[in-house]
Every structure is written in structure tokens, then in C-alpha cells.
């Protein structure tokens, strides 16, 4: 398949209407989004990229256009919508625009089913197309206007390869008898309703980098500074680490800076306010034992069932060679226990699993709850084969002839999930939802 890297910017009513005409006649379209979450406290969708019929559209929802007119395309079951990390994009698009989705595919989830070594978009483009993609715009500010040519080219390539990658993946999934499982999971992703998380003031100080190396008094100060930072970030709608980064917090705590030092570092108002907070700390010093732990307050009979279900999960992981992210979480296992599940319909009503998982995992879950042997029910589960490259392919170099070798051509999409945080930004990136602010 020929990959077209050119793009069409859609930022007015006429260009949006023309884009919809093209997309509405496509059998497959690829969708991605760019959001402001790396810069703002409350994330919002800043771009919607859609490729279809050989054209790459970059739709600007911040322009004076009604992007909700895309909804008939998104919910048309005759058009396959391909995403990479569909859960993230669909959640954001439902949150901001109320879109509905039918008939989707997700290359990230597919890569897990196929047992690929990595699951990022960059890796998949390299794996299937032997093209090395640059990450120069990975942390770009997508809220700023106007966007420059490099940003737009970068954004366009996020969807340019998805149809081709999915077409190959679909064949591989079918060969391994995994296609029904994949589409069942995709259907659940598409149908998942968006539920806004409750905004809380809880500060997860225990996730601060190297928190174990701080004294109890220093931990308490870290917690107070994080609280100060979070409140200000929320007021300014600014990513917390852009208010005060982790390195600065550690410097303040470890060096016990004076008020003058804090004013020099943070400005007069913030420096004076933070100095006052540190002079009057909230609560006692935080010992290691104060680290919040997952506590479900289980009753004795629940503990036994919980242990049985965790053993079931471990057995499925070993049987299928999968990781825990593809199975039920501890929270979900406890919900099953407390919902008094008795049959498959009870499991369906909880909406924790795709229909495929209800049918293939459900019977063994019911037996595990009764502490009965379920090994015979696992014989039909397909083990996932792990694919690992023995050596990463290297770009070809020209023979030495006195001239500089040609540089390897790279193109510029972005990763769906930022994999390598900068030194001062560890655990500080602003999440998609304000309630997800942890540090």
C-alpha cells in the first residue's frame, strides 16, 4: 500500500464538509487525536486526525467549525475505524464532543494479542514498514495557534500508516484464531460510556520519585508542596509539573530554603506563601508505614474468594502467556465477589469484560468462586506466542567515499503514550482527567 504523507488542514465549514464526503465513502478510516494534557491541568482535544481513501485530514476543533457533524461517520457500522490505543482517543472524543462509535479496531491491543515485543505506534511502523519515525514533536503544545508545518506533518503521520498496519494484523490474528477475541474487545471499547471521574483533592505523595529516601519530616513537606502545586495548577489550568517540577520540590525540601531563597526561586507571592506553609506543616511527619496501601476492607469470606480469583488470574496469565493488563484488576475481582455473581448473565451485567471473555473466561471464574477445579475449561484458550526480534535493524550506511553518508530519512508522528519523561518531569505529566493527578 502506498502511504501518502501529505495532509489537508480542515479549519473551516467548507473544508469540513468536503472531508466528510470523502470519509463517508471510505470502507476504512484511521483516527487519532492530539490533546493539551501535557500543558494543561484539564485536558482537551486540540486536533482530530483522520485518514481515509488515501487522504490525511487534520481537523481543528478549535476553529469555528462544528466537528460534531463527524458523528454519522463515526457511528456508521459499515465503516471500520482504526485507532492506536482506542480507549484513550474514544474517551477523549466522547468527553469533548459526545461522539458515538461503531465498528472499530485497535492496533495497540492487537499488538498485545500478537505478542509483539513493544506496543507503541513508532514500534509498529518500524516493525511493519521498516521506517524510523522521529519524536521531535512528541511533547508539542497542540493548543497553540497557528500550528507550524512540522507539527501538522507530525500529526498527519499518526494515522497515515494505521490502515496498512491493521490490514496485516488482521490477517495475522485470523491465522492464529484470535480475530473473534480481538473484535469482541474492540466492541467493548467502542461501547464504553464516558464517565467523568470525581475530582478529589487527594495527593499521592507516595508516588513522588525516591520518596523512600526522604526523612519523615521531608515527606510531609513534599506532600504539602504537592498540595500547593496541585491547587495552583488547577486554578491556572496548567500541568502541575509546569508550576513546580519535581527537581525543584526536592531542592526546596532537601536544602531547607529560606523565604528569600523561595522568593527568588518561585516569585514573591508563591515564595512567601510556600514558606508559610512549610513553617506550619499539615499533620505529623509521614513514616514509611503511612504509605497508602490498597485496602478493600475484605471480610474473611471475601478474602478466600479473592484469593481464589487471584489464583485463577495467575493461571490464565500462565496458560495464555499474557500480562495482567489484559485481565481483570483486583478492583474488578472484588466487584465480582461483592456482586454475588452466580452465572454468566450476572457477569455480563457488570460490564467488566467483552462478550468473548465472558464466554471463555466466565465459566472458569464461576468455578473458581466455588473453589472447584476449572482446568478442563481452559483447554480451548489460545496461548499467545511472543514475537521478539533478535536484533534491531540498523539504517543502511553508504560506503566511505570521502563524502558524508546520507542521513536516514525519518518522518514525524508521535507516541500515544509518552514513554520517556524528561529528567525533571518524572511522574509529573498532566493526566487526561483532573482526578488522575497523582503527584
Provide the residue ranges of all domains of the chain, joining segments of one domain with +.
Answer: 8-191, 205-291, 300-378
Separation CA 340–CA 354 (nearest Å): 19
Nearest Cα neighbor of 392 from 194, 118, 35 is 118
- Least confident interval from 138-152, 188-202, 206-220: 188-202
**What is the average per-residue pLDDT within 377-402?**
65
pLDDT at 238: 96
Q: Does domain 8-191 have CATH number 3.40.50.970?
A: no
pLDDT of 123 above 90? yes
Q: What is the DSSP letter of 386?
A: P
**What is the average per-residue pLDDT within 289-308?**
85
6 to each of 131, 155, 157, how far by Cα in Å? 17, 11, 9
Q: Does domain 300-378 have CATH number 3.40.720?
A: no
Separation CA 155–CA 152 (nearest Å): 5
179 touches 187 (CB < 8 A): no
**What is the average per-residue pLDDT within 85-90?**
97
Q: What is the pLDDT of residues 264-282, one digit of tens each?
A: 999 999 999 999 999 999 8
357 touches 332 (CB < 8 A): no
> Which residues of 19-168 form beta strands (DSSP E)?
28-35, 45-52, 55-59, 80-83, 104-106
Radius of gyration over alpha carbons of the chain, in Å? 25
Separation CA 309–CA 398 (nearest Å): 57
Nearest Cα neighbor of 394 from 211, 202, 203, 132 is 132
Q: Is residue 151 exposed (0-12), middle (13-18) or buried (19+ Cβ within 10 Å)?
A: buried
pLDDT at 197: 80
Q: Which fold has domain 205-291?
A: DNA polymerase; domain 1 (1.10.150)
Task: Using pLDDT thresholds of 50, 70 and 90, give the confidence band for residue 392.
Answer: low
302 touches 338 (CB < 8 A): yes
Maximum average pLDDT range among 192-201, 235-244, 403-412: 235-244
267: left (phi over 0), alpha (psi -120 to 50) or beta: left
pLDDT of 314 above 70? yes
pLDDT at 12: 97
431 to each of 241, 267, 437, 438, how far by Cα in Å? 11, 26, 6, 9
3 state SS of 4: coil
Task: Using pLDDT thresholds of 50, 70 and 90, give the confidence band for residue 295.
Answer: low
Separation CA 119–CA 123 (nearest Å): 7
Question: Do the domains 8-191 and 205-291 sit in the same CATH topology, yes or no?
Answer: no
3 state SS of 29: strand
Distant-in-sequence, close-in-space partners of 94: CB < 8 Å, separation ≥ 6: 100, 193, 194
Separation CA 237–CA 430 (nearest Å): 10
Separation CA 126–CA 14 (nearest Å): 36
pLDDT at 63: 97
Task: Using pLDDT thresholds of 50, 70 and 90, give the confidence band for residue 2.
Answer: low
Portion of the chain with pLDDT greater than 90, in percent: 78
pLDDT of 393 above 80? no
pLDDT of 417 above 70? no
Separation CA 75–CA 306 (nearest Å): 39
Amino acid at each position: 500500500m502506498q502511504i501518502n504523507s501529505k495532509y489537508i488542514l480542515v479549519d473551516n465549514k467548507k473544508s469540513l464538509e468536503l472531508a466528510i464526503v470523502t470519509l463517508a465513502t471510505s470502507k476504512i478510516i484511521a483516527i487519532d487525536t492530539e490533546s493539551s494534557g501535557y500543558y494543561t491541568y484539564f485536558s482537551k482535544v486540540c486536533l482530530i486526525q483522520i485518514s481515509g481513501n488515501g487522504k490525511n485530514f487534520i481537523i481543528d476543533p478549535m476553529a469555528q467549525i462544528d466537528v460534531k457533524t463527524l458523528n454519522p461517520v463515526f457511528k456508521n457500522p459499515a465503516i471500520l475505524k482504526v485507532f492506536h490505543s482506542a480507549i484513550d482517543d474514544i474517551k477523549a472524543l466522547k468527553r469533548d464532543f459526545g461522539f458515538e462509535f461503531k465498528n472499530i479496531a485497535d492496533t495497540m491491543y492487537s499488538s498485545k494479542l500478537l505478542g509483539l515485543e513493544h506496543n507503541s505506534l513508532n514500534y509498529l511502523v518500524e516493525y511493519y514498514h521498516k521506517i524510523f519515525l522521529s519524536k521531535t514533536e512528541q511533547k508539542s503544545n497542540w493548543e497553540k495557534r497557528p500550528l507550524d508545518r512540522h507539527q501538522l506533518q507530525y500529526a498527519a503521520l499518526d494515522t497515515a500508516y494505521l490502515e496498512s498496519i491493521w490490514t496485516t494484523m488482521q490477517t495475522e490474528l485470523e491465522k492464529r484464531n484470535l480475530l473473534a477475541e480481538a473484535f469482541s474487545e474492540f466492541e467493548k471499547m467502542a461501547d464504553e460510556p464516558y464517565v467523568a471521574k470525581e475530582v478529589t483533592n487527594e495527593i499521592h505523595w507516595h508516588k513522588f520519585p525516591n520518596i523512600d529516601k526522604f526523612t519523615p519530616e521531608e515527606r510531609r513537606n513534599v506532600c504539602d508542596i504537592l498540595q500547593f502545586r496541585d491547587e495552583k495548577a488547577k486554578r491556572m489550568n496548567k500541568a502541575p509539573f509546569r508550576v513546580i517540577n519535581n527537581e525543584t520540590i526536592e531542592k526546596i525540601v532537601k536544602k531547607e530554603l529560606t523565604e528569600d531563597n523561595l522568593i527568588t526561586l518561585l516569585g514573591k507571592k508563591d515564595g512567601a506563601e510556600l514558606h508559610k506553609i512549610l513553617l506550619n506543616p499539615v499533620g505529623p511527619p509521614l513514616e514509611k508505614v503511612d504509605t497508602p496501601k490498597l485496602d478493600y476492607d475484605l471480610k474473611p469470606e471475601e478474602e478466600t474468594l479473592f484469593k481464589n480469583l487471584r489464583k485463577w488470574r495467575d493461571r490464565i496469565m500462565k496458560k495464555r502467556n499474557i500480562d495482567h493488563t489484559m485481565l481483570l484488576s483486583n478492583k474488578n475481582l472484588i466487584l465480582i465477589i461483592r456482586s454475588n455473581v452466580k452465572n454468566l448473565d450476572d457477569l455480563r451485567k457488570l460490564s467488566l469484560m467483552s462478550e468473548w471473555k465472558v464466554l471463555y473466561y466466565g465459566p472458569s471464574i464461576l468455578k473458581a468462586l466455588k473453589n472447584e477445579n476449572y482446568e478442563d475449561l481452559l483447554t480451548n484458550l489460545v496461548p499467545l506466542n511472543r514475537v521478539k526480534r533478535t536484533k534491531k535493524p540498523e539504517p543502511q550506511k553508504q560506503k566511505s567515499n570521502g563524502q558524508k553518508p546520507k542521513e536516514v530519512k525519518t518522518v514525524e508522528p508521535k507516541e500515544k503514550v509518552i514513554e520517556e519523561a524528561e529528567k525533571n518531569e518524572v511522574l509529573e505529566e498532566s493526566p487526561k482527567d483532573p482526578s488522575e493527578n497523582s503527584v
